[in-house]
Amino acid sequence: MLANRIFALLVGLLSLQTVTLAATPDHDGESASRHVKTIVLGSGCFWGAEKGYEALPGVIDAVSGYADGRNIKPVYKEITRSEYRLDPDNYAEVVEVRYNTEVLSTGALLRQFFEHHDPTQKNRQGNDIGTQYRSIILYTDDEQREVAQYTRDQYQALLTAAGYGAIVTEIKPLQEFHRAEDYHQDYLAKHPNGYCPNHATGVTFEKVVSIPTDNSALMKGRQIVVLEAEHCPFCERFKRDVSSQYRGSIPMTYRMASQLDGLTLKTPTWATPTIYFLEDGKEMFGHQGYMTASEFYQALGYFKLGDSESYKVAFSQGTDSRFCRQYDEFKNTPDGVFIDKLSGMPLFDTRDRFNSGTGWLSFTRPVEGATIERPDNSFGLERTEVLSKSSGIHLGHVFDDGPDGKPRYCINATVLEFQPRN
């Protein structure tokens, strides 16, 4: 099947980096260490939170402590002083959770975090008032950061439907964790009737709010769907670097995780951005995380062109056969422009086309700013290669033997599409 060939080629040649959910161990000890992660969570008084995490299957250890502060000594008597109650530099009461991701996923752990406090309360939980009680997630790797952002956005939709306000949970990289005093560790195990407030909203992830989305257009033909989330810096980066300049013939659509109704997807939806390449609503292949323009267009090249001569020309510096079929189609088109077959950006204008008699499309110049030129010394020759600036694909070469002393851009027709001028 085409989809299988595309996927195999992508795996072998693209080296696209997807998030590894379960690595194959070389040694048992190494495997165990790879699946153990640490995250630091603050949701008010750490006594009850610590007990809750320790009860979860897959949690190896939960330790009460302090984090995300500065200029204040990280000890209980200092952070609870009245003058620090509203100090933004105060430390937060947190729990350091060490867990086995083969037993407990980061997403499941963070669903516990959100469900067991009120993340819409700023610098407090109930009657516990102060910056030390702020809601905070301190991650130790990119996977945790992405899952935290996604889980927060999921929970926000549920809270909004239930009449709650905006989530104020901070999501930051962990700088340093300070273990709390010994009498705070396992406090509720030592004092079963101790103080253990429950400020949960009662809103749970089991009560999923369906957001109807019309995906009928995505069920037809080839489509590109980009999964995004609010406050996702890598989503914004992908928009800036890739999608804002994309004009290709395969439609590109953005969706939130709650807007994927009817699509058949294999790649998990917790990471953003995730780019899905679909055919008739079914995923052919997908990529979790940010893609550079080069990575995106090579994947798109296989998706659109398959294992074809066009692909080899575009990505392996191939050359069309002289007087090929596409050349015959394009040598006498009406007035218009030739565009990049993948990005859809204009490359050459028919007004700059001439018949060189070589059997390849020839132009005296490209559209301004549309191409890149670089030395090409392959095959023992000294030539200048021409590439598309938008997608990076190989277009051909430029020589100095054009008409009236102008350059001759010798361009492969198989990597172009034609648009009449309008």
412: CATH? 2.170.150.20
The reply to whether 208 falls in a domain is no
Average pLDDT over residues 330-336: 95
The reply to whether 61 falls in a domain is yes
User: Which residues are known to be catalytic?
Assistant: 45, 410
Write down which residue in 305, 332, 367 finishes a domain.
305
Average pLDDT over residues 193-217: 73
pLDDT > 70: what percent of the chain? 89
CATH number at residue 124: 3.30.1060.10
Q: Do 184 and 225 sit in the same domain of this protein? A: no
Question: Could you give phi then psi for residue 216, rounded to 5 degrees?
Answer: -60, -35
What residues make up the domain containing 379?
315-420
Q: Do 323 and 414 sit in the same domain of this protein? A: yes
Question: Could you give phi then psi for residue 206, rounded to 5 degrees?
Answer: -65, -25
Q: Do 233 and 176 sit in the same domain of this protein? A: no
DSSP-based three-state secondary structure for 380: helix
The reply to whether 5 falls in a domain is no
What is the bridge-based pairing of β-strands 252-255 and 222-227?
Answer: parallel
Q: Do 271 and 176 sit in the same domain of this protein? A: no
Q: What band does 187 get if pLDDT is binned at 50, 70 and 90?
A: confident
CB 80 within 8 A of CB 174: no
Q: Do 169 and 81 sit in the same domain of this protein? A: yes
Q: Do 225 and 275 sit in the same domain of this protein? A: yes
CB 87 within 8 A of CB 68: no
Q: What band does 416 get if pLDDT is binned at 50, 70 and 90?
A: very high
pLDDT > 90: what percent of the chain? 64
pTM of the shown model: 0.57
Q: Do 278 and 333 sit in the same domain of this protein? A: no
Nearest to 114 by CA among 163, 45, 41: 41
The reply to whether 332 falls in a domain is yes
Write down which residue in 175, 190, 205 finishes a domain.
190
Q: Do 87 and 142 sit in the same domain of this protein? A: yes
The reply to whether 243 falls in a domain is yes
The reply to whether 204 falls in a domain is no
Counting the structural domains of the chain, the total is 3
79-120 residue pLDDT tens: 989 888 889 999 999 999 999 988 888 988 999 999 999 999
Q: Do 37 and 172 sit in the same domain of this protein? A: yes
